[in-house]
Chain A
């Protein structure tokens, strides 16, 4: 068997110079074309009806998924941004409210303080004017006493000195000097 194969090979090798180079061996062309056609059509059918729709579908599906995920993310970001804006707005409103309420309270307190102090001032002014009036009264009373005492003392001193003077003279000179003093 082995020697036979070798023999055939040797024979083949022997006339290979004259024989066609194997790829140009026309005898095999018919069957090669036939099987190539079978292989090509088979592969074409398998790929275009089984493999490619599925492969393309998977890629398409992934693209859609990524696109929809991105959309979802964008939507959520927009929502978050809107919430931030809303929060800022509410914060500003609350701040303004707080400021207004503080301002109101302060003005109320100021009003009360000024009202209270005005009342107190009026009271104090009245007390003061009353006291001044009393002082004036007492001062007038004291002044009246002073001229009496001065007149008596002058009359007494003059009597002691033996100088005669009418009460009228005493009266006028004393009141004159008091007036001078007071001035």
Chain B
């Protein structure tokens, strides 16, 4: 029965309630997922606070790391949106660090990975989606709709292209959330499977235990890959956020 539980690769995504709360019928129980989210906030803030605690012209190591992260996201914003996009920098920086932090925390065994919860990635993707729409209309007014009308295209083609542009626009939150969710979920399932095989093979306590070495090394390799994926998916999520926000700044393309 222990083996069965260890082998269940879905068990790790189960959110357990630690303490039940509710306000006006709205369930706000503190769960293992909430714990992970809060830990991410605390860790990210603690690291950055450490980075800015003793500012120097010649930076200390932590300060360098902090500045590296700042420049990384700032350059991303500048390159995709331009100098005027810098007002969204705190938003994008927060998004990046939250997703990256969740992905990285998920690499520690026994922690729930918030970014492997579809509701979390969907909420973040919808936040980006509606930010683009609301800001797009505030900035450009009705001109924001030019987003759906590619310029310099003959009229007959527009009948084909405009619906495509509209579909691709409205599909964005779906792809944005599913990409992150799917990558993190799949990675964790694969890891769990290989580790589960290793444990199961060792558990036979027979000559089969020798073969445990194969899934063990695969798990090792996948762990390295998952760290890469953790960063990459956070990066992709953030870059796409910038690209989508760019539409709000420059709707005619």
Contacts and interface: CB of A to CB of B under 8 A. Distances in A.
B130 interface: no
B34 interface: yes
Contact of A55 (B28, B66, B114, B120): B66
Contacts of A34: 26-28
B88 to A, nearest CB: 11
A47 interface: yes
A61 interface: yes
Interface stretch (A24-32, A134-142, A173-181): A24-32
Interface in A10-69: 10, 13, 16, 21-25, 27-40, 42-44, 46-48, 50-52, 54-59, 61-62, 65
A58 B74 CA distance: 14
B199 interface: no
Interface size range on B against A: 35 or more
Interface string B109-136: 0000010111110011001000000000
Interface in B169-191: 181, 185
Interface residues of A, number: 42
B33 A32 contact: yes
B89 A52 contact: yes
Contacts of B33: 28, 31-32, 35
A21 to B, nearest CB: 6
Nearest to A48: B90
A164 interface: no
Contact of A33 (B21, B98, B119): B119
Given A35-B28, A39-B38, A55 B13 contact: no
Nearest to B120: A36
Interface stretch (B2-10, B205-213, B219-227, B245-253): B2-10
A123 interface: no
26 contacts: A9-B4, A10-B1, A22-B10, A22-B11, A23-B116, A23-B117, A31-B28, A31-B31, A32-B33, A34-B26, A35-B28, A35-B37, A38-B37, A38-B38, A39-B40, A44-B94, A48-B94, A50-B49, A51-B48, A51-B66, A52-B70, A52-B90, A55-B66, A58-B67, A59-B71, A65-B57
